[in-house]
Amino acid sequence: MRIERLSTGVRGFDPLVAGGIPRGFLVAVVGEPGTGKSVFCIHFARRGLLEGDKVIYVTTEESRESIMRQASMFGFDFERAVEEGRMIIIDALLRDKRDEWNMTEVTVDELIGKVIQAKKALGYGRTRLIIDSMSAFWLDKPAMARKYSYMVKRILSKWDMTILATSQYAITTSYGFGFGIEHVADGIIRFRKLLRNWELKRYVIVEKMRQTPHSLRVHEVEIRDGVGMLVKGPVEATRDEVTLPSKVVESVKKGVERKAIEEELMEGLLSEGM
Ligand SMILES: Nc1ncnc2c1ncn2[C@@H]1O[C@H](COP(=O)(O)OP(=O)(O)OP(=O)(O)O)[C@@H](O)[C@H]1O
Ligand SMILES: [Mg+2]
Protein backbone atom coordinates (compact mmCIF):
# COMPACT_ATOMS: atom_id res chain seq x y z
CA MET A 1 0.00 0.00 0.00
CA ARG A 2 1.39 3.36 -1.02
CA ILE A 3 1.17 6.04 1.63
CA GLU A 4 0.26 9.50 0.37
CA ARG A 5 2.52 12.03 2.06
CA LEU A 6 1.99 15.77 2.33
CA SER A 7 4.98 18.03 1.94
CA THR A 8 5.45 20.37 4.88
CA GLY A 9 6.86 23.18 2.77
CA VAL A 10 9.77 23.60 5.19
CA ARG A 11 12.99 23.35 3.23
CA GLY A 12 15.00 20.36 4.45
CA PHE A 13 12.26 18.88 6.63
CA ASP A 14 10.45 16.42 4.32
CA PRO A 15 13.43 14.04 4.02
CA LEU A 16 13.28 13.60 7.81
CA VAL A 17 9.82 12.02 7.44
CA ALA A 18 10.30 9.94 4.29
CA GLY A 19 8.89 12.67 2.06
CA GLY A 20 6.08 14.14 4.12
CA ILE A 21 3.31 13.67 6.65
CA PRO A 22 0.89 10.84 5.79
CA ARG A 23 -2.52 12.08 4.69
CA GLY A 24 -5.11 11.97 7.47
CA PHE A 25 -2.58 12.03 10.31
CA LEU A 26 -2.86 14.12 13.44
CA VAL A 27 0.63 15.38 14.23
CA ALA A 28 1.60 17.21 17.41
CA VAL A 29 4.08 20.06 17.00
CA VAL A 30 5.52 20.65 20.44
CA GLY A 31 8.12 22.85 22.08
CA GLU A 32 8.89 25.78 24.34
CA PRO A 33 7.83 29.36 23.44
CA GLY A 34 9.54 30.89 20.44
CA THR A 35 10.97 27.64 19.12
CA GLY A 36 9.23 27.89 15.73
CA LYS A 37 6.00 25.91 16.10
CA SER A 38 3.79 28.57 14.53
CA VAL A 39 6.32 29.30 11.78
CA PHE A 40 6.35 25.56 10.95
CA CYS A 41 2.54 25.55 10.80
CA ILE A 42 2.52 28.62 8.55
CA HIS A 43 4.78 26.81 6.08
CA PHE A 44 2.53 23.75 6.18
CA ALA A 45 -0.49 25.95 5.43
CA ARG A 46 1.25 27.76 2.60
CA ARG A 47 2.41 24.49 1.04
CA GLY A 48 -1.19 23.28 1.10
CA LEU A 49 -2.34 26.40 -0.72
CA LEU A 50 0.35 25.86 -3.37
CA GLU A 51 -0.86 22.29 -3.90
CA GLY A 52 -4.54 23.30 -4.15
CA ASP A 53 -5.50 22.00 -0.69
CA LYS A 54 -8.08 23.71 1.47
CA VAL A 55 -6.60 25.19 4.63
CA ILE A 56 -8.18 25.83 8.01
CA TYR A 57 -5.97 27.62 10.54
CA VAL A 58 -7.23 27.94 14.11
CA THR A 59 -5.23 30.48 16.08
CA THR A 60 -5.68 30.86 19.83
CA GLU A 61 -2.69 32.90 21.03
CA GLU A 62 -2.25 35.24 18.10
CA SER A 63 -4.89 37.12 16.16
CA ARG A 64 -5.71 36.32 12.54
CA GLU A 65 -3.88 39.52 11.54
CA SER A 66 -0.78 38.45 13.45
CA ILE A 67 -0.67 35.12 11.57
CA MET A 68 -1.16 36.91 8.24
CA ARG A 69 1.58 39.40 9.04
CA GLN A 70 3.99 36.66 10.11
CA ALA A 71 3.24 34.78 6.86
CA SER A 72 3.76 37.91 4.77
CA MET A 73 7.25 38.31 6.28
CA PHE A 74 8.16 35.13 4.41
CA GLY A 75 6.40 36.23 1.23
CA PHE A 76 3.20 34.19 1.73
CA ASP A 77 -0.06 35.93 0.86
CA PHE A 78 -2.65 34.43 3.24
CA GLU A 79 -4.93 37.43 2.84
CA ARG A 80 -5.50 36.59 -0.81
CA ALA A 81 -6.04 32.91 -0.05
CA VAL A 82 -8.72 33.90 2.47
CA GLU A 83 -10.38 36.29 0.01
CA GLU A 84 -10.38 33.60 -2.67
CA GLY A 85 -12.08 31.13 -0.34
CA ARG A 86 -9.19 28.67 -0.23
CA MET A 87 -8.34 29.32 3.40
CA ILE A 88 -10.23 30.12 6.61
CA ILE A 89 -8.43 31.47 9.65
CA ILE A 90 -10.48 30.92 12.79
CA ASP A 91 -9.57 33.54 15.36
CA ALA A 92 -10.00 32.32 18.93
CA LEU A 93 -8.11 35.23 20.44
CA LEU A 94 -10.15 38.33 19.61
CA ARG A 95 -13.51 36.61 19.94
CA ASP A 96 -15.46 39.21 18.03
CA LYS A 97 -19.02 37.89 17.86
CA ARG A 98 -19.78 39.74 14.59
CA ASP A 99 -17.09 37.76 12.77
CA GLU A 100 -18.31 34.38 11.52
CA TRP A 101 -14.82 32.91 11.83
CA ASN A 102 -14.17 33.92 15.41
CA MET A 103 -14.67 31.62 18.35
CA THR A 104 -16.69 33.03 21.20
CA GLU A 105 -15.59 30.33 23.63
CA VAL A 106 -12.36 28.36 23.67
CA THR A 107 -13.90 24.93 24.16
CA VAL A 108 -13.33 21.67 22.33
CA ASP A 109 -17.01 21.52 21.31
CA GLU A 110 -16.85 24.95 19.74
CA LEU A 111 -13.55 24.08 18.07
CA ILE A 112 -14.97 20.95 16.45
CA GLY A 113 -18.14 22.80 15.44
CA LYS A 114 -16.27 25.69 13.84
CA VAL A 115 -13.82 23.44 12.02
CA ILE A 116 -16.64 21.37 10.49
CA GLN A 117 -18.45 24.58 9.52
CA ALA A 118 -15.25 25.83 7.87
CA LYS A 119 -14.72 22.54 6.06
CA LYS A 120 -18.26 22.72 4.66
CA ALA A 121 -17.70 26.30 3.55
CA LEU A 122 -14.43 25.42 1.80
CA GLY A 123 -15.96 22.44 0.03
CA TYR A 124 -14.59 19.08 -1.05
CA GLY A 125 -10.93 18.31 -1.44
CA ARG A 126 -7.82 17.48 0.51
CA THR A 127 -7.75 19.66 3.60
CA ARG A 128 -5.04 20.76 5.99
CA LEU A 129 -6.09 21.79 9.48
CA ILE A 130 -3.82 23.64 11.86
CA ILE A 131 -4.76 24.04 15.52
CA ASP A 132 -2.31 26.52 17.02
CA SER A 133 -2.40 25.85 19.89
CA MET A 134 -4.26 22.87 21.30
CA SER A 135 -3.01 23.61 24.83
CA ALA A 136 -5.37 26.59 24.94
CA PHE A 137 -8.33 24.22 25.06
CA TRP A 138 -7.35 22.60 28.33
CA LEU A 139 -5.29 25.29 30.06
CA ASP A 140 -7.54 25.25 33.11
CA LYS A 141 -8.09 21.47 33.07
CA PRO A 142 -4.87 19.71 32.02
CA ALA A 143 -6.25 16.35 33.15
CA MET A 144 -8.65 16.51 30.19
CA ALA A 145 -5.86 16.81 27.61
CA ARG A 146 -5.95 13.20 26.50
CA LYS A 147 -9.73 12.94 26.33
CA TYR A 148 -10.02 16.19 24.37
CA SER A 149 -7.25 15.20 21.96
CA TYR A 150 -8.98 11.89 21.39
CA MET A 151 -12.30 13.63 20.70
CA VAL A 152 -10.70 15.95 18.17
CA LYS A 153 -8.99 13.07 16.40
CA ARG A 154 -12.01 10.78 16.36
CA ILE A 155 -14.48 13.36 15.08
CA LEU A 156 -12.26 15.20 12.63
CA SER A 157 -10.73 12.08 11.11
CA LYS A 158 -14.04 11.57 9.27
CA TRP A 159 -13.55 14.82 7.39
CA ASP A 160 -10.45 14.03 5.29
CA MET A 161 -8.10 16.34 7.13
CA THR A 162 -4.41 16.19 7.87
CA ILE A 163 -3.96 17.94 11.18
CA LEU A 164 -1.06 19.78 12.82
CA ALA A 165 -1.76 20.65 16.44
CA THR A 166 0.74 22.64 18.46
CA SER A 167 1.26 22.13 22.16
CA GLN A 168 3.36 24.28 24.43
CA TYR A 169 5.99 23.03 26.78
CA ALA A 170 6.87 24.87 29.97
CA ILE A 171 10.15 26.76 29.83
CA THR A 172 11.32 25.49 33.18
CA THR A 173 10.55 21.80 32.91
CA SER A 174 10.12 21.20 29.16
CA TYR A 175 7.00 19.22 30.06
CA GLY A 176 3.70 19.70 28.30
CA PHE A 177 0.79 21.45 29.97
CA GLY A 178 -1.24 18.32 30.29
CA PHE A 179 -0.09 15.28 28.41
CA GLY A 180 -2.51 13.78 26.01
CA ILE A 181 -1.94 14.95 22.52
CA GLU A 182 1.40 13.13 22.41
CA HIS A 183 -0.29 9.77 23.00
CA VAL A 184 -3.18 10.31 20.66
CA ALA A 185 -1.11 11.89 17.89
CA ASP A 186 0.19 9.82 14.96
CA GLY A 187 3.34 11.88 15.01
CA ILE A 188 5.33 14.21 17.28
CA ILE A 189 7.62 16.91 15.94
CA ARG A 190 9.56 18.49 18.76
CA PHE A 191 11.27 21.88 18.59
CA ARG A 192 13.92 22.95 21.06
CA LYS A 193 16.10 25.95 21.71
CA LEU A 194 19.46 26.16 23.40
CA LEU A 195 22.12 28.74 24.06
CA ARG A 196 25.39 27.86 22.36
CA ASN A 197 28.28 30.27 22.84
CA TRP A 198 25.80 32.94 23.93
CA GLU A 199 23.74 32.50 20.77
CA LEU A 200 20.20 31.17 20.53
CA LYS A 201 20.03 28.04 18.40
CA ARG A 202 16.93 26.13 17.37
CA TYR A 203 16.60 22.40 16.80
CA VAL A 204 14.01 19.90 15.67
CA ILE A 205 13.62 16.17 16.18
CA VAL A 206 10.91 13.82 14.94
CA GLU A 207 10.02 11.89 18.08
CA LYS A 208 7.28 9.82 16.50
CA MET A 209 5.76 9.32 13.05
CA ARG A 210 3.69 6.21 12.58
CA GLN A 211 4.21 4.21 9.37
CA THR A 212 7.36 6.20 8.65
CA PRO A 213 11.07 5.37 8.71
CA HIS A 214 11.81 8.82 10.12
CA SER A 215 15.07 10.43 11.07
CA LEU A 216 16.19 9.92 14.67
CA ARG A 217 18.70 12.77 14.63
CA VAL A 218 18.47 16.26 16.04
CA HIS A 219 18.64 18.81 13.20
CA GLU A 220 19.44 22.47 13.46
CA VAL A 221 16.71 24.89 12.41
CA GLU A 222 16.98 28.46 11.19
CA ILE A 223 14.29 31.10 10.75
CA ARG A 224 15.36 33.69 8.20
CA ASP A 225 13.70 37.01 7.49
CA GLY A 226 12.05 37.04 4.07
CA VAL A 227 12.56 33.28 3.71
CA GLY A 228 11.14 31.46 6.72
CA MET A 229 12.19 28.18 8.29
CA LEU A 230 15.02 26.01 7.00
CA VAL A 231 16.18 22.71 8.40
CA LYS A 232 19.93 22.42 8.25
CA GLY A 233 22.06 19.35 8.73
CA PRO A 234 21.95 16.98 11.68
CA VAL A 235 23.79 18.07 14.76
CA GLU A 236 27.10 16.26 14.88
CA ALA A 237 28.29 14.99 18.23
CA THR A 238 31.57 16.86 17.87
CA ARG A 239 34.50 16.16 20.18
CA ASP A 240 33.94 19.59 21.63
CA GLU A 241 30.37 18.88 22.64
CA VAL A 242 31.14 15.51 24.12
CA THR A 243 34.21 16.57 26.03
CA LEU A 244 33.30 20.12 26.92
CA PRO A 245 31.98 19.56 30.43
CA SER A 246 34.94 17.46 31.62
CA LYS A 247 37.35 19.76 29.77
CA VAL A 248 35.88 22.74 31.54
CA VAL A 249 36.08 20.95 34.86
CA GLU A 250 39.70 20.01 34.16
CA SER A 251 40.77 23.51 33.20
CA VAL A 252 38.99 24.94 36.21
CA LYS A 253 40.77 22.39 38.39
CA LYS A 254 44.11 23.17 36.75
CA GLY A 255 43.48 26.88 37.24
CA VAL A 256 42.77 26.35 40.91
CA GLU A 257 45.86 24.15 41.28
CA ARG A 258 48.08 26.65 39.45
CA LYS A 259 46.76 29.46 41.61
CA ALA A 260 47.47 27.43 44.76
CA ILE A 261 51.03 26.66 43.55
CA GLU A 262 51.62 30.30 42.61
CA GLU A 263 50.37 31.41 45.99
CA GLU A 264 52.68 28.91 47.70
CA LEU A 265 55.62 30.08 45.60
CA MET A 266 54.85 33.71 46.31
CA GLU A 267 54.60 32.94 50.00
CA GLY A 268 57.89 31.06 49.78
CA LEU A 269 59.61 33.92 47.94
CA LEU A 270 58.20 36.46 50.34
CA SER A 271 59.30 34.49 53.39
CA GLU A 272 62.72 33.86 51.83
CA GLY A 273 63.10 37.56 51.19
CA MET A 274 62.21 38.42 54.72
N1 LIG B 1 10.84 37.73 9.94
C2 LIG B 1 11.57 36.98 10.78
N3 LIG B 1 12.90 36.86 10.61
C4 LIG B 1 13.64 36.12 11.45
N5 LIG B 1 13.15 35.45 12.48
C6 LIG B 1 11.83 35.53 12.71
C7 LIG B 1 10.97 36.31 11.86
N8 LIG B 1 9.72 36.20 12.32
C9 LIG B 1 9.78 35.41 13.41
N10 LIG B 1 11.03 35.00 13.64
C11 LIG B 1 11.51 34.14 14.74
O12 LIG B 1 10.52 33.21 15.06
C13 LIG B 1 10.23 33.26 16.44
C14 LIG B 1 8.78 32.96 16.68
O15 LIG B 1 8.56 31.65 16.29
P16 LIG B 1 7.12 31.02 16.51
O17 LIG B 1 6.08 32.08 16.55
O18 LIG B 1 6.96 29.96 15.49
O19 LIG B 1 7.29 30.40 17.95
P20 LIG B 1 6.31 29.38 18.70
O21 LIG B 1 7.07 28.14 18.94
O22 LIG B 1 5.03 29.30 17.97
O23 LIG B 1 6.13 30.11 20.11
P24 LIG B 1 4.82 30.26 21.05
O25 LIG B 1 4.73 28.98 21.83
O26 LIG B 1 5.17 31.40 21.91
O27 LIG B 1 3.66 30.51 20.16
C28 LIG B 1 10.55 34.65 16.88
O29 LIG B 1 10.84 34.69 18.26
C30 LIG B 1 11.76 34.96 16.00
O31 LIG B 1 12.93 34.48 16.62
MG1 LIG C 1 3.10 29.95 18.34
Determine the residue of 10, 30, 39 to mutate for testing ligand 1's pocket, defined as the one with the most ligand atoms within 8 A of the Cβ atom.
39
Average pLDDT over residues 115-135: 96
Report CA(93)–ligand 2 centroid distance (Å): 13
* Mean pLDDT score across all residues of the chain: 87
Q: Report d(CA 20, CA 128) in Å as an integer.
A: 13
Q: How many CA atoms lie within 13 A of 271 on its CB side?
A: 6
Res. 165: pLDDT tops 80: yes
> Quick one: average pLDDT of 1-9?
95
pLDDT at 128: 98
pLDDT in tens, 41-83: 999 999 999 999 999 999 999 999 999 999 999 999 999 999 9
How far is 114 from 103, CA to CA, in rounded Å?
8
Contact 14, 205 (CB under 8 A): no
Residue of 37, 171, 200, 229 best suited for mutating to test ligand 1, as the one with most atoms within 8 Å of CB: 37
Which of ligand 1's atoms lies nearest the C-alpha of 40? 18
Task: Tell me if 230 CB under 6 Å of ligand 1.
Answer: no
Torsion 141-55-203-7 (CA) sign: positive
Atom in ligand 1 nearest the alpha carbon of residue 36: 18
Pocket test for ligand 1, best of 29, 190, 223 (most atoms within 8 A of CB): 223
The ligand 1 atom nearest the CA atom of 73: 1
User: For 187-236, what is each residue's pLDDT tens digit?
Assistant: 999 999 999 899 999 999 999 999 999 999 999 999 999 999 999 999 98
Measured between alpha carbons, how far is 160 from 127 in angstroms, rounded to an integer?
6
pLDDT at 243 over 70: no
Q: How many CA within 13 A on the CB side of residue 144?
A: 13
Distance 98 CA to ligand 2 centre (A): 25
- Contact between 125 and 54 (Cβ < 8 Å): yes
| pLDDT over 90 percentage in the chain | 69
Is the pLDDT at 122 greater than 80, yes or no? yes
Question: pTM of the prediction?
Answer: 0.86
